[in-house]
Amino acid sequence: MAEMTAEEEKLSIRDISIAAEAQTKQGDTFYLITQRWWQEWLEYVNQNQDNTVNDGSASEHHLLGGSSALKRPSSIDNSDLIYEATSGDSSAGIELHDTLVEGTDYILLPQEVWNQLFEWYRGGPILPRKVINSGLSQTELAVEVYPLRLQLHLMPKDERSTIRISKKETIRQLHKKACEIFSLNPELVRIWDYFSHQKHALMNDMDKTLDDANIQMDQDILVEVSNGNSAGAVNSYHENGTADNGTVALVRPSQSNISSAEGLSLSKGSSRNDTAELSQSQQLASSGTDKTFGSSGVSTRGSACGLTGLLNLGNTCFMNSAIQCLVHTPEFARYFREDYYQEINRQNPLGMVGELALAFGDLLRKLWAPGRTPVAPRPFKAKLARFAPQFSGYNQHDSQELLAFLLDGLHEDLNRVKHKPYIKSKDADGRPDEEVADEYWANHIARNDSIIVDVCQGQYKSTLVCPVCNKVSVTFDPFMYLSLPLQSATTRTMTVTIFTCDGSALPAACTVTVPKQGRCRDLIQALGNSCSLKHNEKLLLAEIRGHLIHRFLEDPLITLSSIKDDDHLAAYKIPKLTKNSKFLQLIHRREEREIGISQSNVGWKPYGTPLVSAISCDDVITRGDIQLIVHRMLSPMLRTENPGFNCVSRSKTSAAAAANASRLAASSEACIDSSLANDDPRQKDVCSSKLVNLEKLPLQLVDENNACIDLTVGEDKSVKLSSSSMSILVFADWSQKLLDNYDTRYIENLPEVTKCGSATKKARTEPLSLYSCLEAFLREEPLVPEDMWYCPTCKERRQASKKLDLWRLPEVLVIHLKRFSYSRSMKHKLETFVNFPIHDFDLTKYVANKNNSRRQLYELYALTNHYGGMGSGHYTAHIKLLDENRWYNFDDSHISPINEEDVKSAAAYVLFYRRVKTDHHHSASNKTPFLRGSSLSPM
């Protein structure tokens, strides 16, 4: 038979693929093929095809990539998808690498497509996988890329074996396979769910699937041979998995710790990020088969409960660190190891049909089981990606954001309230805070009642005050965690020089404090408050470079981080503009002569700081008008010791000049207040006489053709202004004579935006206290303009002041340190060291409810850390095992003991505190049914 051409191969595979995928059903077989070989074949068959798509069928999306490859591929080579063959137990078959990702490492081909390619190219190894039903309704089709991997323990012979079996197989089929592997008489064999190396449940419902029996990846199965005597079935081993001598019965680790991958299309991401870590954990586990570990090194095999690591599936350290903190919260450890299934709320539309709670509970049980290798949390991550697509794939994410989602999602899945009543909150109306707070909390519990509420939720007191009518609004809202600002590093002092256009004041430097990652609107608002801005005025912010206006910062959303510490800023106090107003920019120049050049060769160079004024274009603007405006702008700098600068006597001011000045002031709505321009003739005369001079200022106007017009002649001549530009450029040439009459030092040297002195540097080296962060969080501050409050008395939105207080504290207090800030253009991390207490974290004085007499003391038991920068950092967790009273570092699958003094670092991100019991009674409002007993152990 003649060899097919590339085009014929492509058309043949396309037709087979369309037909096969259209008929896919449960039980069909798909085959894995390495993405590398598949891409090579695609390039070969598409070598003469342009990049146009001939058919929009979804079944062809892998087949239509353009390329210029010419060589026909060699035989199929899937060796990079599997572990190398070992001399160990071969009953498990060929093992796939545990972090393979569809579309990155492999693709799935229908059986018919694989058969055709295999006929043409041969090769292998052959990697078939079955199609199973999945999803809530069990109607979704998914290829089971990773079937269940089970550890079989034969008792009493102490033999072990590892098998692969689909989770859709029945218990009868598992029973049959176990008997075949160990050559046993089926009538004498019983199999048990050997969860945590204990007889968890007898698997005697032979028609039940392993999925229905809740058998998980890497589960232990006990194969028990009765030998006709059921009473002595296991005479050398106890049900807790220990031998008669008390040593732990260890299970030999297998090649890999693989979890199932659900669905035909898996999340894309890194496929080899965890190879080194995986092999290291395998070595650690295998080395412990026949030895006892001392306290100098910690192993996750044969060690105390709670010292089990989580494999990194590829940038999943953010998830692993948060999970370890939650599963080591004693209240949660107890709850999820008991029978919590009765509390699962499958009808809650805000929940995840209980699936998130089940996945978390299964993972927690694995992590608390003794004698287990590091767990690959792939099933949990699959559920997480299903209900929170933002965490899908293998990119780095924010651990705190994941934690917030988990707490909220677990609450909704475990909400004991099946039908939430509608409750309308009542206004306080002067009632006592205690009464209103209890009412709010009762309303909250009526709709939200779960283990998460019992353990983690507290209550704020929020007070809003209207700045106009002083209306006070008090509400009491629940919180799950506290997000505290790092106050010393989240603000920035900025110095800006403020200029007026009406000659009413000299330029003055103004220093304000603004959010470090704030925007220009924050700076303008702070400057306006500082300089007592009038209601009909506004500030025009500009960056000055080289004695010229480099840019106007008119966009209120410009980030302050784009302004450097050594920049120079000016803020011009101008009237709120009308439609036909422009900005007059007065650019200063002074004469400079170069050495060796004749005295007649004078160069004019920019000098000082430009001044800006608003000018109305509704009327005809004359050269004299501009002269008057410039005189007004410069008038505050006029030297008093030189009163005779050819000025007209104030008593002899011409009526025409006064009228002209009044007309300009009125037409531009600014420069002088309308009351001064129209209502008081005495003030009008003073203003006018001050500005009218016999000697004209040496001004040059730049017209629309970029030509300079001399404004010292033709006072009544009008000037033609550019219609396309908002700015009118006027040059003021400062001769020595002019400098003698004006004190220009006010415009010569602008201060830097931020000048770090020794005091500032010293302050930065001082550690920031967690108490200081809390006080900054509770400090009264005005609402941001876009989040203004609707005052029910004024019937308008007001920028009210807001004050938060702690009213009711939870059993477990989670504190988030706000190290990360985001904007549209950049991300930023604060490396500030926060000195947080480990013991005796006393919040008594911060609780506004003074009727609660007991001390509010907390002790740290867990925290997450973030090392490195944004997007490329790494998360770990420090956790205290309360039974041992010892701290450990959880770095994915690696666990090591640490000293308590090493817990504090600048990497601390989310802190977990647990209430210290100072008395024997609990607050009635914080009902925690799972906090019975005095032991701190999660057992």
CB 863 within 8 A of CB 873: no
Closest CA to 532 of 560, 558, 554, 510: 510
- pLDDT attached to residue 93: 64
317 noted as active-site residue: yes
The pair phi, psi for residue 677, each rounded to 5°, is: -80, -25
Whole-number pLDDT of residue 484: 93
User: Would you call 912 exposed, middle or buried from its count of C-beta atoms within 10 A (0-12, 13-18, 19+)?
Assistant: buried
Mention every residue, 6+ apart, whose C-beta is less than 8 A from residue 15: none
* SS3 assignment, position 114: helix
The token pair at 765 is 């080296």
Q: Which of the listed ranges 298-307, 461-470, 660-669 does the model predict with the highest average pLDDT? A: 461-470
- Amino acid present at 775: E
One-character DSSP codes across 731-742: EEEE-HHHHHHB
pLDDT band at residue 43 using 50, 70 and 90 as cut-offs? confident
User: E strand or H helix at 874, and its extent?
Assistant: strand 874-881
Give me the chain's average pLDDT, please: 75
Residue 195 in this model has a pLDDT that exceeds 80 = no
- Residue 817's pLDDT is what? 94
The yes-or-no verdict on residue 173 having pLDDT over 80 is yes
Secondary structure of 573-635 in HEC code, one letter for each residue: EEECCCCCEEEEEEEEEEEECCCCCCCCCCEEEECCCCEEEEEECCCCCEHHHHHHHHHHHHH
Dump pLDDT digits (tens) for 400-422: 999 999 999 999 999 999 888 88
Least confident of 428-432, 507-511, 786-790, 819-823: 819-823
User: Is 230 buried (19+), middle (13-18) or exposed (0-12) by CB count in 10 A?
Assistant: exposed
pTM for the structure as a whole: 0.47
Can 520 be counted among the known catalytic residues? Answer: no
- Residue 447 pLDDT > 90, yes or no? yes
Q: Give 843-862 as a DSSP string.
A: -GGGBS-TT--S--EEEEEE
Token pair, residue 558, equals 């410009």
Which pLDDT belongs to residue 660? 44
Asked if residue 361 has pLDDT above 70, the reply is yes
From 317, 466, 531, 791, the catalytic residue? 317
The first and second tokens of residue 209, run together, are: 């699937």
Amino acid letter, residue 896: S
Which string of b and e fits 541-572 if b means at least 16 CB within 10 Å?
bbbbeebebeeebeeeebbbbebeeebbbbbb
Q: How far is CA 125 from CA 41, 590, 723, in A?
A: 17, 84, 76
Q: What is the per-residue pLDDT for 444?
A: 94
670-700 pLDDT, tens per residue?
A: 333 433 333 444 444 444 444 444 467 888 8
724 - beta bridge partners?
Answer: none
The pLDDT of residue 602? 57
Residue 356 contacts residue 347 (beta carbons within 8 Å): no
> Which residue out of 62, 874, 894, 922 is catalytically annotated?
874
